[in-house]
Every structure is written in structure tokens, then in C-alpha cells.
Structure 1
Amino acid sequence: MEIADFDLLKSQVLWAAFVVSALFGVIAQRTHFCTMGAISDIVNMGDWTRMRMWGLAVGVAVLGFAFMVWLGWIDPTKTIYASGRVIWLSALVGGALFGLGMVLASGCGSKTLVRIGGGSLKSLVVFVVMGVASFATLRGVTAVLRNETVDQVAFDLAPGSGLPQLLAAASGWSATHTTLWLGLAVGGLLVMWAVLGKGFCTADNLLAGVGIGGTVAAMWWVSGRLGFVAEHPETLEAVYLASNSGRMESLTFTAPMAYALDWLMFFSDRSKVLTLGVVSVAGVVLGAFVHALLTRSFRWEGFRDTRDTALHLAGAVCMGVGGVTAMGCTVGQGLSGLSTLSVTSFIAVLGIVAGALAGFRFQLWLLERD
């Protein structure tokens, strides 16, 4: 491959990622897909509809990932979740911080971007603060704290941290076929659980689950299939184009917020280039904005009072620190990570749910005190 063809392919990967993330923004805006909202509906109303949306999305993403592995399109050992080192305490503590933060900030990272597209100025503030906190936890003061504390507590799994790899190593089966059959079992059960719910099968509910799960699977294809070059024209090494981690990536929104701010602030620095994460942040905002305009639902929104401002700022910091510590958010670990059946992702999701429940208890305490 010539360097000109290499650069052209990189542009195609970025445009494809932008389109997929914009579609994510449109679907999330239209269907009110929200992990925090799903947990809130169960706690406050006993309504499992939005949780079934989330379950359907995970199921579709798991099935999509498994089929692409079986077809040989992507290599499951090259994802950012495939490390053999399970940082379980980081996933648990970071997930809990993120879950608490998303309640205080009225939504997770993806919901923040969707709300920006819908006209929320307070979500714009959350985005900036969350991005700064994320960057600090990637490379700054909280990164040192993270590296010297929770990241030190881990255990190793020789075949990798994915359930298919563990099962294949224990049984002696082919890793590819194990991924397919386990994906069919887990993904199929989740899809069945969702669609068999009473009154669930409406157009918007199915669009939310199938559409969001489909965008996660599509991004795996963009990064792992379209964006994979077996031999870089200069280094002669295999490379995943436009990847911040150097590995195959799908949708996630905590660290990419930091990368997006970094790209905007140092735009004239030629070393700062567009990546999958940066364009996915822009894509979600634009997709939600276009949908809000077309449906005339665009509304400017600001903070109600000082306490509302303080809670959102605290939530943004918790999400930034927690999301990076847990290696992903409700989308990064909750959808993309779970689609690979990563052990670390399951732990992170448990932490997110626990943190969210603590956040709801705190909000209830505030209401009772008032």
C-alpha cells in the first residue's frame, strides 16, 4: 500500500466513524435511550422498559461482535478490552464513581453529548469539566493517584480476560467457535428477554435496542475491519487506523471527551490528529442536533440554581475520573466492553449500577432534607 492510499483509507475510516456516531446520536435523541434513566425507571417506578432497551442493545452488540469474529473480519484479542490483566478494583471503584457522577450530572457521557445537541448549556459545562477530569486521570494528577492505588490491585488471566477465551482455554475448543456459540447464547438470551417483555415491542423501543447495539457492532467493523492495515507503508507493522489506543476500538465517550478537548485546544499542533474517539464525540452531538431541529424539540437549557450547578460539576468530575479509571463508561464498558464478553466489563457495569443506586439515595436524602 502506498502512503497516499494509506492516508485515503484513514480519511474513510474517520468519515465512517463519524456517520456511525451521528446515527447513534439520532437514535439516542429520538428514543431517549439512557442507562441512568433505565436504572432510575426501575428504582422509582418499577418500569423495566428502558432497561430492556439496554439489554436488547447489549444482545445485538454481542451477536454482531461474535459473528464478525466467526467470519474472520476482526480479531477479538486485539480489542482494548482483551488484556489478560483484570484490574478489578479499578473497574469496580471507577465504575461506582462514574455511576454516582452520572446521577449527579443528569446523565452519562453519551447522554451529555446528546443533550448538548438538544440545546442544553449545562450539559456543555458538564462536557468541558468531564473532559478535563478525564485528561487529568489519563495523564495528570489523578492519573498518578490511579496508577499508584487501584491499578495495582489486579489478577492475570493467561488466555485473556474475555469469557470466550477463558472457556476455549479450559475446554480445548476453537476460540473462534467458542466466541460464536457463547455470543449466540448470551446475545440471544438478552434479545429474547427484551422482546418478550409485555408491551416492549414498539417501534421506538426496537429502534433503541437494535439501533444502538447495531452502531456499537458497526464501529467494531469500522475500526477492526475497515481500519485494519496488515502492513504500514513506512513501518511495515500491522496498525489500526485512527485509534487512540493503537488497538481495535468501538464507541466510548469518557477518554474521547478528553481527546476532543485536547484536539480543539491544540489544533495548530500538527501532532494532534483526528481519531475515532474525537470524531465520535462530534458525530453524536451533530446527530442529536439535527434530530432536535427536524423534530422542533431543540430547547435552550441552563442551570436552575447554585446547588444544581454544584451537583452537575461534581458529577462531571466523578464521571471523568471514574470513567477513565474503569476504562470506559456506560457505553464504553456497558455496551462495547460487554459485547466482547470481557470479565473487566462485567465488573465495571456492577460498579456503575452500585454507584447509580448510591446517587439516587443521595438525591432522595436531599429531597427529604428540603
Structure 2
Amino acid sequence: MGAVSDIVNMGSWTRMRMWGMAVGVAMIGFYGMGWLGWIDTGKTIYSSGRIIWLSALVGGLLFGFGMVLASGCGSKTLVRIGAGSLKSLVVFFVMGFFAFATLRGVFAVLRVNTVDKVAVDIAAGGSVPMWLTQFFGFAPDVSGLVAALLVGGALMFWALLGKDFRTPDGLLAGVGLGAVIAWMWWISGHLGFVPEHPETLESVYLATNSGRMESLTFTAPMAYLLDWLIFYSDTSKVLTLGVVTVVGVVVGSFVQSLLSRSFRWEGFRDTQDTALHLAGAACMGVGGVTAMGCTVGQGLSGLSTLSLTSAIAVTGIMIGAVLGFRFQIWLLERE
């Protein structure tokens, strides 16, 4: 949200360049591991020839609009909780509730029977490497590496063109976050992969809610964390990669706020502030699940796979964010 805000309000592309660097590093890391045989790049939750473009677009619009009203996306909400924001804690619970309702509840029925039905099936697959394999006959691992080097390398080059970006903090943010995304792919796709489960005798990815390889994402894991806390006595409810990362971001933020002496309690300013954050949280919960990911889930993890659905979702998120900023400006002018 900050990157889009800087462009809209100040014309600054520095934080967007950080995002571009992170995506580029994550792409090359993801498909580099595929080329080395460490992971199977075709086994992610984004690998599908079915492009649910309307779900991605509508969900992205809702999420982008909601994150502006709620003062940040899911990851920012978790960071602010760790730094003492009580209103972000409220956003977390509301967002998690609406996310779970969109995964399994009333909004799930609505989602499946409406936007999810509008899709395009592409025989060649839903990502750039799959197209290279289909049309040029490249091996899948080679196609992935070539596409990642071209697209990811271009993003990294574009990021480095910005003078303001080429600082220790900027490089750490971009390269560091991209490396974390790639590392999480390795954890779920290599460390957590069992070729033959002793009970089912089938290959399985352990500790992921989807049963497939996953990297960082926060909307659905928020819902699964609430589910785990509420049904803790149910032994079938286990800690997954997504759930643990949600807790990890809060703990990491809390430690950092103590070290930097920036921890402070924060509450809602007034009734309007409360209403906007509640509405934003609801939009993020519904939109994040509908779009199959948030700014991190689709904007970093999804884009690192060069998925077309992810690109549509990110476009929707950016448009939604711009509309959210325009709405806030309208509120200020009205007051």
C-alpha cells in the first residue's frame, strides 16, 4: 500500500522499486531451485491452467480498497499488532473471520457460485514457463529458469535504475524479502515434501493448509490461525506453515519495537475511524480469499511463479488501492 501511496501522492517510485527487486529475486530463486531439482515448480497453489480471472480481479479490487481503509494490508496489520496497535488487533479478528467465511462459510457458497465460475482454461498452462514448454518444447525446468532470468532480471535492473533505491536499506528490503519468499518455497517444497506418505503411499506436502507447495501469504492463514485457536483440542487441527508465519511476524515486530523503543499502545481515533477499519478488514478478508492471495500471497509469492492469475490479482489490488485513496480524499474534502 505504501508503494502505491508514494506514487499517487508524491510521484515517488522508490518503494515500488523495492517491490520489483523482491519479486525479481523471488522469481529467480524459485525457478533456480526448480532447475536444480530441489522443488517441483508445477506443484504450487498457483499452478493451474484454469485462469479464474474474474475472481482474481474482483478479489484484488476488494482487497486493495480494504487495505487502504484498514491502514495497511494483512502483513502490515500483523506488524502493527506487534508494535502495540489495538485497532490492528481488531482488524485481524474481523479480517480472519471474513476470510474463513469466504473459505468455508456463507461467502464461500456465494464465491463458488458466482465469480469462480467465470474462468478461462488454457491448455498450455497458466504461467509463462508453461507456455515456453508448450510452444518451444523446452524442458520445464529450463523454461522456468529462462523466464525467471528474463522477467526477474528485468525487474531487478529496473529497480536498480532508481538512485534513491540504491541504498543499504533499499537493497536489504528488496533482496531480503525476495530471498525470504524463495526460502519459504524451499521449506514447503523441499523440506516439507514426502515422496511417499507411510499411510497413503502418495506424495504429500506436509504442514500446508492447501496440501500443495506454499510460500508467504497472510489472508487465509489468519483464518486458519483463528480456527486453530478455537478448535485447539481437536487433534486434527495442526500448526501449518502459514499459521506459524502469522505468529512469527507479530513476534518479530514486537521484538523490533522493543529494541527500537517504538512500542506504543494505539486505539481508534473516533467512530468513523472504527467503521472504516472494520469495513476495510471485511473487504480484505473476502477479497484476499477470492483473489487467492494478498499483496504478499499474490504480489510476491504468486508473481514469483509467473502466474497469469497472480498478475491479474495484483492489477486488481493496485486499482483498488488507488480507488481507496480517492475515497479517503473525498472523505477529507467533505469534512
Gaps of 5+ in 1: 1-35
Q: Could you tell me which residue of structure 2 aligns to residue 66 of structure 1?
A: 31
In structure 2, the partner of 1:346 is 311
Partners of 1:136 and 1:160 lie apart in 2 by: 30
Q: 1:259-278 counterparts in 2 under 5 A? A: 259-278=224-243
Matches within 5 A, 1:113-192: 113-192=78-157
Aligned residues: 335
Match of 2:283 in 1: 318
Question: Which residue in 2 is equivalent to 1:204?
Answer: 169
Aligned mate of 1:56, from 4, 11, 21: 21
- Provide the TM-score with structure 1 as the length reference: 0.90
Paired amino acid for 1:98: F
Report Cα offsets for 1:202-232 as digits up to 9, x if no partner. Answer: 1111111011111110000000011111011
CA apart distance, 1:127? 0.3
The CA RMSD measured in Å over matched residues stands at 0.7
| CA-CA distance at 1:90 after TM superposition | 0.1
**CA distance in 2 between partners of 1:294 and 1:92 (Å):** 40
1:224 aligns with: 189
The 4+ residue runs of structure 1 with deviation greater than 6 A are none
Deviation readout 1:176-212 (Å, 9 max, x if unpaired):
1111011001111111111220221111111110111
User: Aligned letter for 1:85?
Assistant: R
One-letter code aligned to 1:208:
A
- d(CA) in 1 for partners of 2:164 and 2:61? 32
CA distance in 2, matches of 1:305, 1:105: 14
CA offsets, 1:315-359, max 9 Å, x none?
000000000000000000000000000010000001001100110
Q: Residue 323 of structure 2 aligns with which residue?
A: 358
| Secondary structure class of the residue paired with 1:273 | coil
> Which of the numbers 287, 292, 303 marks the counterpart of 2:268?
303
In 2: Cα distance, 1:88 partner to 1:296 partner: 44
Structure-1 separation of matches of 2:124 and 2:193: 23
List per-residue Cα deviations over 1:246-301 (Å, max 9, x = no partner). Answer: 10000000000000000011111111111111101001111111111111111111
The two structures have a TM-score, normalised by structure 2, of: 0.99
Name the counterpart of 1:235.
200
- Give me the whole-angstrom Cα distance separating, in 1, the residues matched to 2:70 and 2:220: 17
Match of 1:108 among 63, 70, 73: 73
User: 2:216 matched to 1:251?
Assistant: yes
Alpha-carbon distance, 1:111 to partner? 0.6
The match for 1:87 is 52
Q: What is the letter of the counterpart of residue 114 of structure 1?
A: V
1:50-80: per-residue Cα shift (whole Å, max 9, x none)? 1111111111101101100110111111000
Question: Following TM superposition, by how much is the alpha carbon of 1:158 offset from its aligned partner in structure 2, in angstroms?
Answer: 2.1
Is the Cα–Cα contact under 8 Å of residues 77 and 160 in structure 1 kept in the other structure? no
Counterpart of 1:331 in structure 2: which amino acid? V
Instruction: Give the secondary structure class of the aligned counterpart of 2:327.
Output: helix
Structure 1 residue 160, shift from structure 2 partner: 2.3
Q: What amino acid is aligned across from residue 316 of structure 1 in structure 2? A: A
Identity of aligned residues (%): 74
* CA displacement at 1:165 relative to structure 2: 0.4
- Inter-partner Cα distance in structure 1 for 2:200 and 2:140: 30
Alpha-carbon separation, structure 2, partners of 1:167 and 1:303: 51
Distance in 1, Cα, partners of 2:284 & 2:140: 35
Worse-superposed segment, 173-182 or 251-260: 173-182
Tell me how far apart the structure 2 counterparts of residues 291 and 203 of structure 1 sit (CA, whole Å).
18
| 1:47 match: secondary structure | coil
What is the distance in 1 between the residues matched to 2:136 and 2:61? Answer: 34
Letter in 1 for 2:273: D
Q: Which amino acid counterpart does residue 320 of structure 1 have in structure 2?
A: G
Where does residue 194 of structure 1 map in the other structure? 159
Q: 1:303 is paired with a residue of what secondary structure?
A: coil
Instruction: Measure the CA separation in 1 of the matches of 2:164 and 2:71.
Output: 27
Cα distance between partner residues in 2 of 1:285 and 1:158: 41
Paired residue type of 1:184: L
CA separation in 2, counterparts of 1:167 and 1:367?
Answer: 49
Distance 1:253 1:200 in 2: 26
Any stretches of 5+ residues in structure 2 without a counterpart? none
How far is the alpha carbon of 1:130 from its aligned partner?
0.2
